[in-house]
Amino acid sequence: MKQGRPGAREALLRTLLDQHGTGRVVFRNTRAAMTGFPKRKFCPAPVDADENVTLLARIGRELQAEENGEADALRYSFKGDPRLTWLVGLMRELAPAKILLICKSQRKVLALASALQDLTSAKVALFHEGLPLVQRDRNAAWFAEPDGAQLLLCSEIGSEGRNFQFAHHLVLFDLPLNPGLVEQRIGRLDRIGQTDTIRIHVPYVRGSADEFVLDWYHRGLSAFEAPMHGGAEFQAKFRPRLLELAAEAAGAGGDAIREKFEQLIAETQAFRDELAAKMREGRDRLLELNSFSATKAQEIVERLREAEADPTLRRFLYELLEHFGVRVKEYEQGELFLDPSHAYVESFPSIERDGMLATFDRRRALAREDIRFLSADHGLVRDTIDLLIDSPQGCAAFGTLPADEPNLLLEAVFVLETVADSRWHVDQFLAPAPVRVVVDLRGQDFTAERPVTALAGEVDDGDLASFLARPGFSPEVLRRMIESAESAARAQSESRRKAAAQQARQALTGEIERLAALRKLNDLVRAEEIALAKMQLEQVCGAIEDARLRLDSLRLIVETPVER
């Protein structure tokens, strides 16, 4: 069999994907197509009630009240609860490993914390809706510290939004009859950035209602060791029966209704298989193929790593902040505290009045959500640069330069920029760019002879008042020099403008032709898209044609003969 041309299969696949238009409008990544996610390990923790019928009845009442919205009437008490004894033992066994515990409500968290005080002296932090936002952030930060709290007790708000991927142990102290919510809880640890297998600990009292709920989740849904899909469908179909059977278990004992539970679990498994088959059949394989490229993703990751390893941003930002009077205090773990109280501008942008914790270490920022990660596209960096650019400081300067012959130079920096609606993305072809020129008193262009690197080290600050006191220099002379500089900048920027226009025409015309060809094969390509692409070509080329030069800064330089 004759071997085909190298890369032919990939090229054919790209053509197929393009013809079906799966990447034009929407992108979707599936977890199966990506890597970097951790494994899960289910760790059930059965404890005995020791014939404590009251405990079994109380667990059943709590489940019913929490699921029926009547939890406010409950009085939680966990003193003497064997699950607490198990939890303390787990903390001792795993110390100093971090443990995240999530349960239903704030009142349950407070009851657990009260009971734990009598059983252990380990560091325990709380995270619930009754705490102010600042205090919740501090407690979460304390939990993230290596020498901070070992256990974080969370109410249900801890299952949404917060990320604790630095922890590897999750305790589900109760199981709400909402599979999607259970998956959200596990998702606090099961994230990109998790470095170890996640241990999901579920304590339950043998013979209680919780045991049957756990059995349904584990055997019926297989919810603990793999990501679960279709949680809302499971909840709608099985929740009422499960709640009813759990109530019977609390009242009559587990053995009396085991057969009913086995039937429910069998139906749940069948429904799970049916739902999985429907999801497989409904998959858009072309969309999945077009949504993720491991090669391109790796290239992006490598570029990000190179950018974060480059110390240029750190040095540049330090100099900017020092220029504006923002004090920077460094800590041992790579954290920075930015204090704007002594800044030269009021309400320094992107920094709170009381200061801000920041870091250039991505891993540190992931572990501590109260610490801002500083990168080139962070608001602080952009706003500080804008503050410098928009400031009148540094827009005009005067200096002297040793030379063989006396002369007067004007160094001017213009900005070539376009004015257009941001939706046309003109900046991808012609972004605002500086145009530097150097002219002398007679209008001659000295830009090539006086490069910026040479002037940076040779020009000394001069006394402008003494120079203006000399005869022969007037505003009219300066005006003519600026006109000469602008004329030189216009000539210099013309080639840049033409290259941008040519690039825009090639790229956008090619896109219009591609969409027109796709429309013949794919009904999903609408005529409105082609019309919009044509409008973009017209608007972009027009904006590039009308690009303007804006004078940004200038420096007057007196060349003084060197005494031999």
For residue range 128-141, what is the model confidence (pLDDT) as tens digits? 999 998 899 889 98
Q: Residue 284: pLDDT above 60?
A: no
459 three-state secondary structure:
coil
DSSP 3-state of 526: coil
Model confidence pLDDT, tens digit, residues 346-366: 888 888 888 999 999 888 887
Is pLDDT above 50 for 332?
A: yes
Separation between Cα atoms, residue 467 and residue 528, nearest integer Å: 63
Burial per residue of 121-141, b for 16 or more beta-carbon CB atoms within 10 angstroms, e otherwise: eebbbbbbeebeeeebbebbb
- Kind of pairing, strands 151-154 and 124-127? parallel
Which single residue is written with the structure tokens 């014939």? Answer: 51
| Averaged pLDDT, 495-508 | 93
Query: Which is nearest to 119 in space by CA: 161, 72, 70, 85?
Result: 85
pTM of the model: 0.67
Domains and CATH numbers, the chain: 37-290 (3.40.50.300), 294-390 (3.30.360.80), 396-561 (no CATH)
The percentage of the chain sitting over the pLDDT mark of 90, rounded to a whole number, equals 37
Residue 560 CA to residue 404 CA, distance in Å, equals 7
For the stretch 526-549, pLDDT in tens is 889 899 999 999 999 999 999 999
What pLDDT does 1 receive? 44
Work out the average pLDDT over 180-206. 89
DSSP type of residue 69: T
pLDDT tens for 260-277 read 888 889 998 898 888 887
Distance CA(439)–CA(429), nearest Å, equals 29
Q: What is the DSSP string of 412-454?
A: EEEEEE----GGG-GGGTS--EEEEEEEETT--B-TTTS-HHH
- Given a contact cutoff of 8 angstroms between Cβ atoms, the answer to whether 27 and 291 are in contact is yes
Nearest alpha-carbon partner for 193 in 156, 160, 144: 144
Q: Would you give the end-to-end CA distance of the chain in angstroms?
A: 83
Query: How does DSSP assign 83-138, residue by residue?
Result: HHHHHHHHHHHHTTS-EEEE-S-HHHHHHHHHHHHTT--S-EEEE-TTS-HHHHHH
Per-residue pLDDT tens over the stretch 414-458: 999 999 898 899 999 999 999 999 999 888 999 988 888 888 878
Tell me how far apart the alpha carbons of residues 189 and 38 are, in angstroms, rounded to a whole number.
Answer: 9
3-state secondary structure (DSSP) of residue 556: strand
- Between CA 100 and CA 87 the distance in angstroms is 11
Output the CA angle 402-404-406, nearest 5 degrees.
Answer: 75
Residues 6 or more apart whose Cβ sits within 8 Å of residue 327: 338, 339, 341, 342
Mapped to the 3 state alphabet, what secondary structure does 184-227 carry?
Answer: HHHCCCCCCCCCCCEEEEEEEECCCHHHHHHHHHHHHHCCCCCC
∠ CA 51-53-56, nearest 5°, is 110
Look at the alpha carbons of 130, 133, 138, 142 in this order and tell me if their dihedral is positive or negative.
Answer: positive
